[in-house]
Amino acid sequence: HLTAEEIYDEVKKVCPDIGLATVYRTVSLLEEIGVIFKLDLNDGCSRYELVHSEEQHRHHHLVCNECKAVYEVQDDLLDELEARIEGTYGFKILDHSVKFFGICAECCKKHKGESEE
């Protein structure tokens, strides 16, 4: 889940002459043609990830409020909810994006260790 600036830093290692504006234009084009999509993790940055052709919907994300780690949840647990929404409202769902915010297991362990001292 890289920002355009992080993508630029990685590409610059291989292609030192590239400009940041080129990366922004390329990211925009890749998003427009559906190769990547923008992800907002409420950290003030636009992040991007690859679109996986085998996924019917975007996968879900767990975001740690402490260390800012992002975990991907591969299971789509919303099939029943989508069916209910489509039946009740006649609304054809094409995709969804779900983010859960909380404290990851590592940060929970750290807090537990601090409280035992």
Q: What is the mean pLDDT of each run of 10 residues along the chain (117 residues)?
A: 93 96 96 89 86 72 90 82 94 87 93 72
Architecture of domain 56-117: 2-Layer Sandwich (3.30)
pTM over 0.75: no
Q: Which tokens sit at 43?
A: 């950290």
CATH of 1-51, one of 2.60.34.10, 1.10.10.10, 3.40.50.300, 3.30.450.40: 1.10.10.10
36-40 vs 46-50, strand pairing mode: antiparallel
Distances (CA, A) of 28 to 32, 33, 39: 6, 9, 13
Tens digit of pLDDT for each residue in 92-110?
Answer: 998 888 889 999 999 999 8
Break the chain into its structural domains and give their ranges. Answer: 1-51, 56-117
